[in-house]
Structure 1
Amino acid sequence: MKKKSLQISIISSSIFLVFLLFFSLGMRIFFTNFFTDYLSKIGLKENKSISSQLSSRLKGDYREFTIYIEENDNEALNGKEVRIHDDYYLGFGDVTSSGLVFEDGIEVPFKTHLQPVFAGQTINIGTKSDFFDGTFIDDEVGIYFIKNDRFGYFSAKDYLDDIVGKRNFALVRNDGLILYNDMSKTEFTNLGGYFKKSEKIVEDLENNLDYYKVSESVDGKLFVTYSKIEEVEGIYYLDAVSYHDYIFNLNVIHRVLAVVIISAIGVMLIVSFIAAYFLTLVYRDLELSTYAFSYNTIPIVIINQRGKIHFRNKKFKELFANHKKTKNITDILETSMDKILKLVPIKVWLRDISINLLGVRMIPVKSTMHTYTLLMYPFLEQDELDEGETKINAKTNLPGLNKFRYDIDEIFKSEVPLVDANMIAVIKIVNLQMFDMMKGSTFTDELVYRVSEKLRKLVEKTNFSKIYQSYDNSFVLLYKSKGTNISLRDIRRILEDFGDEVLFEEFKVSLRAGLYEFNTKLERSSAIIMYEKAKFACEDVIQSSNSLYGIYDNTLDIKLRKQIQITEDLEEGIRKKEFIIYYQAQYDSRLEKVVGFEALLRWNNPKYAQVSPLEYIEVAEKSAVILKIGDLVLEQAIEAAKKLEKEKVTISVNISPNQLMQVGFVNKVRSYLEKYEVNANQIILEITESVVIKSFYDVISKLNELRNLGVKIQIDDFGTNNASLRYLKDLPIDGFKVDRMFVKDLNVDRHSKAIILMLFNLAKNLDLDVVVEGVEEHSQYEYLTKRGARYIQGYYISKAVEFDEAVKLLNKKIRKRTEG
């Protein structure tokens, strides 16, 4: 491990150093190119600015010149000093067809080829020898203004110095002729004599291009910019800067950049060693966890949200050797991703009956944002059993579901066509879980045994079917080619003969059945899926019907499709943020003010505007959507509690069974409390009686953990279940809510009054808070408060409203309403 840690440190540090080296080189190249281009463009921009100023000055001065000659003749102008800025005109004269007549009356002839050029332009720049024949003692560069047949001229040096300042520049013609040279001590009349490679510059001038170049000259390497003087035809302003000075500016930038990069290298080196240290720790944990993962004695697999398998450990590969290329976990297990994403332990069956086990007890754990780890504990292994053999339930001596799967497989393999339909019946003991909680596992085992014995005898009377026992203590009957009518008559006979018989102590036991009919030529479902359909029909008849049995048919298919549609709409609603939280006030009749709110979900979707929240919440409970909705309500409720912290009110939140039993739920509550810095005793979590009955001992453990955080616990809809009083003394709770069903008929039903008074006395003796729900009328409020009810909730106080409206209720004198 130490050697590996050293290797990681060296590798990580080397990676950082190589990265920094390439980063530094890349940054130098980038900034060199960037600043070279940047400074070049700045130079050209400055050049254009000067040429523009020069052009504007010439344009303005030429306008003044035209006024002078319009108002005065040459003699008058030459007889006085005419200013042009800080200088004076040298003279005024006439333009003839052959030359210029200067102020002294002497005519100087044009050079033959320049006569039309000079006479055709309003402004000319150059020496006399540039334009005229002859020899001139004073041959400085002048600027000539021409208007019709008259001209005026002045010295270019002072005029240009006033505009350009102390710069190395020249005025050049577009053929490369230098008209004014202030960039070299040596006199040059052409760019070709001054620059070693002037062709590109001259080409740009001929094409009227403004640009910049680095070029060798007799004065060394120069950075040259040039742009056209608009007021003078074919003349450019050319600016030259020593390339050494130009590079010096870049080097200053490079030095600053180098300091920044070296400082960054120093910081990143320190970071690299710190990172190497932590990477070593991470690797050590990763190495140990990977070893434990890979060589664990149970099958473990990592999947994504869609069920795609990312990683399998050694045991999983051994056990599912036939599925090396299977990409999705649902192709191996008889389950759906909705069930897995609930993150609660479940039993699942295997699709492949050739594997020597029936199924696995699976614990899904969310390992990263997008992946889940599935821990699997195999059960009902067939091991070395012969084909068709099965392990017998030790308590009831009935074959299990592996035998059922084998028999179904044999039916489908049969070469003899089965004319009559086959049927599967799943029979359940109603309220078996309640018996288990109230009387314990010993009682339940004895009860299941007595039921199995009676069922076995009833089945043997006709010998129409085979009987099996499922892992959840339900029973399965298989009718092979008996026809629908015969099968139904036999099932009804069994259930009616069984009746509400007292099999054990004082408890009456009743059975219900769910049926699934199939034809071997048409059926495409596996044995376990058919079993699940019959089981669904059984659960549906227990929940919503007084019938002895229910048949899985098109009606249940429609119900399932409706549930699927609602589930999809729920998912879409979450994505579109259609769900909002309303708050219903809880009123303290002693303090005469609102002291709490219950957070209630509302769906802002026109399609479900008239649908009770209970309907879509019930559907959500059957999929992973309930976890997302539950998290949304929980977090927003805790956030609301923070906003109302100064008001010292509580926020009650309904917690679904799946949410409560979810792995990591307690930590999630803790994280929300810490995130919003909320006092835990401001939060009340409401759980239903149903979740208590189904998982009594697990619930106690969870509730203790939650109460250790400081959160309060209440039982919602108290009194609607037969087992309420049994668990009241054992559960770590702070109170309960009286269901609205007892309040609704309070004025006319003496039984409701008696039950409510009994509950008040019970809460007082056990020191529990009581919240009465569903109070809608003044008479109900009066009756309840006079008999000790303290906390009231219902439309009489306020309907559920949005947060801002709920806050306003804190300032209302609700007592006035109660006195009306």
Structure 2
Amino acid sequence: MKPFVYKLILSFVFTYALLMGTLVFAYNQISANFVRDQAMDSLEKIHLGVATRLNSQLAFDHARFSQYIFEIEQAGLDPVEELTALLDDLFVGTVRFTGFARLSDAGLVQDGTTYAYTTFLNRQDFEQNISVYVFSNVFNGHPDETTYVVFRADDYIAYVEADAYLATIFEIDEQMAPHYFIISRDNYVFYQNHPDADQRFFYDYLRDEGQSEVFIDGIKDIMLARDRGIVETRLFGVMSYLVFNPMSDGFSERELYLVGMYEEEIVIASFAYLNTILIAIFFVVFIIFAVSLLILYKVIEAKNNDIENARLTLYYAKPFILKISSRGVIRSYNKSFKKLLGDYRNYRTVSDFQIKEKYSDQTIEEIIRRQVAFTAIFQLAAESVYIHFIPIRSGRGYLLIGDDVTAVEGRFDEYKGLAMFNVNTNIPNYNQLKQDLREMFADPYRLNQRNALVVFDIVAFSKLELLLGERNIGKVLSMVAEVTHDSLDGYPAKLYNTELDNFTILFEDLEDESWVKRWIDKVLIAFDQPLAVERNIIYIEIKIGVFHIDAGKYSLLTPDQAYENAMLALNHAKQSNVHTFFDYDVNLGQVASRDQMMEQDLANAINKNEFYMVFQPQYDNELEKITGFEALIRWNNPKYASESPFKFIQMAEQNNMIIDIGRIVLHETFMAAKELEKYGVNISINVSPVQILQAGFVNEVIAVFEQYELKKGSISLEITESFLITSFDLVIEKLRLLRKYGFEVHLDDFGTGYSSLQYLRDLPITAIKIDRAFIKNIDNDTHSRAIVSMVSSLAKNVGLEVIGEGVENNRQNHFVVRGGCNIIQGYLISPPVVKDEAIKLIEAFNIEKTRTVERVVRIREVKR
């Protein structure tokens, strides 16, 4: 065994000892803190779940009690008497209400007795939507010393025993054995379930344990900020973790907090398994390192022997072998190399070789001395030959062992060229564009000319791809490239296919900036002509973004920034329903910043629930009454009052906030539907594609439906036709499940996308909605009338209802009804209104008949 092997073993032993010493030291230092930190993180999540469950249950029970009061008052009855009579059947969770009473200015009116308010608590402590207190503390002379959770609606309260009610929510973990406190932000204790708890102010417990005011101020800061937090302290003589979570602001002006006390010893014991995990990790590291040492030793030993034994073998087995001195002088060639070179005597030293790689600071002798592989190019009469050499130390010189890699590296330049071209259109791609832009920006003369970067996208390309298939869409892209290339004839420009359906034109040294506008007009006219692809006639619509590269106008302009500015202009054009192209200016950057601000405000709006629902009526001309409403969401934020709701909904879909907004819509709409149920109207709700594709969507909708105890057939779910093109198979099974459960399904915006009769055949829909685009000009457009009539007839023949959207006047209504569509929705009846106004519309149209729509007499009725 050679001396370097012994040195290698010694270095491995030393390294191993050092590593294990470091690991043992690290384990002793971090194991305790690791377990403690993991325990605290876990407790915060556990307590957050408890607080969330508590907030949800309290909010739900309060809403239900408020509904009881409203319905009884509407009936002109005494809520206390009616609810007391039903006491045995009224539950909050799994616990019965304890009782009901009324609050007056004089005090609590209960069982014919009035108990005056005490001065112990302020009225804001108990005149809240939800509060926790003892009657004897609040009302003079009241004998009841039980702690109650109290729900208040108007002047009436419902109360339930706090321990029994909260126990079902807390679901106390026997292993953790936590204790809970409900306190106000100013530390007054409303509820506590620790057996030794007897203080009225929470901070007194901490002061009893000797905690400083600085420590208490830290807790105050958490609660003043309405934040979550966890602290470690001694409480009731035991080291514990206190976890703080704010309760809902809508419960009480006192800003309540739920505090959980978890004994540290019990918590740490439950996470003891983490120590085992750490020990296991260290053990695995030990095994891996030991095995690696053994394997590495065997490999090095084998390699050393192989090198010694293979030197002569390689001399004959390898195609090309050279022996050189330490100074690079060639000592000998093998026969294969002599045959390859022919006149090999022209090469006296390795410096005579042409090296493919470029080493700016190293000579070829230095490369060989470092034993770095390299490729040499030998120019022969017929072709260039690429030989890849591996230098190996041999005595006082080196062996260069070579392979012929002409088939690989010899084609590298060709492949590099292919990397710069798009495979579909065979024109330069994004890589080439980046290179050309860098070269232009590196040349001050070129950069100071009139240059422009223009990008365009094919509108609705994904739909074309689905309709035509992958093979034919490649032909479309080639045609688009050809049309664009032809339109650039005579312009100092270069065309690139930067993405699948994205094309870029770099204009250089323009005589005038108006040349770009003239080219845009030219190419738009060219694309007015249809393309023929496999007997399909395709019309191409494009959106264009323009950035004029003016280095003097922008202080920090880079090639990447220029391309991003052009793309920003393109994105703005794609969002516009009016403009085909946009020139970049700084205002577009401000629009992007405004969108970012809107996205942040939208996230805050979800947390603050700044949304409300409006309802647009659907009127049946045949029955002459309102039969349903479409529920639409609105954002109550003055900053975005001028923005279309579609914008924030589209933003929510792109940023996955639509799931949370969708849940708000479900609850708010179903709650309103329950109130409107007695009027016999159907409520339709729009379902986002992101929502319906979410796992668990069907179960969630059914759960909320059952929560509000709605009748089957009272809710319709609206899905858009364009969404079905990409998600038909994924959607159909979910809709069938919902239909079986009693939901109606409406197909919205029918006829605006790539309409398919497959939808009417396979989808479990009950109605289709004709888009307002066909209603808008129905009074003077025969094509629109024919479409409405055809769709109505087709739908009714397969048993579907038809609803016409966007009906704004009686004349439009006449044509819609005569076309076979009885149910309309639009400003003729009413714009979207809040729930109370919707009820007034029902009363006016359906009950009092103070509002009507001009009756339409169909042609067949006149003939009769």
Q: TM-score, normalised by structure 2?
A: 0.44
More relative contact order in 1 or in 2 (CA 8 Å, sep 6+)? Answer: 1
